[in-house]
Amino acid sequence: MIARRLISFIESAVPGPREIVPLPPGCPWSGWAPPDIQHCEANVRGWITTPANAWSNLAYLAAAAWLWRRDRRFALAALFVGATSFAFHASFTATGQVLDYLGMFGYLGLLLALSLERLGAASFAKGFALVVAAGLAGFAALRAAGAGVQCVIVALAAAALGAEALVFARERRRDYRPLLAGLALTLAGLVLWVLDYKRIVCDPDDHLFQAHAAWHVLTAAAIPFLASFYAG
């Protein structure tokens, strides 16, 4: 009963697929299968179909550069998230969307695997592999059912927070300020993600600023804080 209520809550909180506007004629990606989600920014003809949403992923590369000598695992996660998200927003294709979600599964897999390792539930490598595999399986199942695949991200994020809550209950010695800072930035970005998706903050023809692009910047800024927390 509790599991059913949790699933119902996640499904109601995460928006389902919107009507997809086809790419402009002559776009290099127009022959590819489209994704099942579309953000506010209008697609333009070219290799970079949504410039603001695509180029804002450079924030992840900046985070990766800053972290490279401090925490190689988080640096690689930031690099992968930025590259896969760029691929999606540049191409606006189903293939790009799969890559985008794979990047997010890898990032959330890193967080969850680190917590599972501290709990003694699984080695880092095993936990990471299981999380990524579960994410891909959930993505495929929901995509086939025509449901909102964002539910997978919500579920993995909730699992990561739940695992860290168990760690806190066991240790209660760790400095949680970096984690709270990272979560605050991520939450602020999530608000902008929703405002963009719901078209509350939306100018489709503005290719310099988009609320979804700000989501990229804020979540990229959160990564060094999370890296600092998990390294402590």
Within a domain: residue 17? Answer: no
Within a domain: residue 42? Answer: no
Q: Mind listing the pLDDT tens digit for each residue in 52-107?
A: 999 999 999 999 999 999 999 999 999 999 999 999 999 999 999 999 999 999 99
Within a domain: residue 122? Answer: yes
Q: Mind listing the pLDDT tens digit for each residue in 111-120?
A: 999 998 988 8
- CA-nearest of 183, 193, 135 to 14 is 193
Residues 6+ apart with CB under 8 A from 26: 45
- CA-nearest of 230, 228, 232, 215 to 81 is 215
The model's pTM is 0.87
Considering its fold, how many domains does the chain have in total?
1
Residues 6+ apart with CB under 8 A from 75: 63, 64, 65, 67, 68
Full domain range(s) for residue 160 = 49-231
Within a domain: residue 154? Answer: yes
